[in-house]
Amino acid sequence: MKHIMAAVDGSDPSYRALEHAASLAKKIDAELSVIFVREFIVGRKDVYPVKNSDEIQDIKDKVNTIVLAAGDPKSEVIIIKSRTAAFSLLETAKDKQVDLIVMGASGKGGIGTFFLGSVSQEVLKKADCPVTIVH
């Protein structure tokens, strides 16, 4: 395993997933890509970000803290602007030829996604590589 991708969305489960991914990357000397998909909602006259600039900076700071605490594995942070997080995560994983996707589970959707978030669920079903879900 040479390349691990961790998906971060600012939630506690995603930070726990990053801790797991960073620790594993350090142990096996793998490259770590930390992906944050900055989602947007398209309105009739404008495009609205789901998270504001301060929230984005808080996420970047927390990511850097976690990566440093894991022993600073070879890593990069990628922020992608998109309307669909799952699609962007899958495309990035394919483009970067990652060997493992690590992401948090958070049930923010309806009954069908109660135990596993809808983004996690879609990535788990459609990824070309193994996916680890961290609770």
Residue 92 pLDDT greater than 80, yes or no: yes
* pLDDT at res. 124: 94
> What's the CATH code of the domain at 69?
3.40.50.620
Q: Is residue 80 part of a domain?
A: yes
Q: What is the mean pLDDT of the chain?
A: 86
DSSP readout, the chain? --EEEEE--SSHHHHHHHHHHHHHHHHHT-EEEEEEEEEEEE-SS-EEESS-HHHHHHHHHHHHHHHHHTT--SEEEEEEEES-HHHHHHHHHHHTT-SEEEEE----S-GGGSSS-HHHHHHHHH-SS-EEEE-
Q: Is residue 124 part of a domain?
A: yes
In this prediction the pTM is 0.85
Domain range for 57: 8-134
Q: Is residue 2 part of a domain?
A: no
Q: Is residue 115 part of a domain?
A: yes
Report how many domains make up the chain: 1
Q: Is residue 21 part of a domain?
A: yes
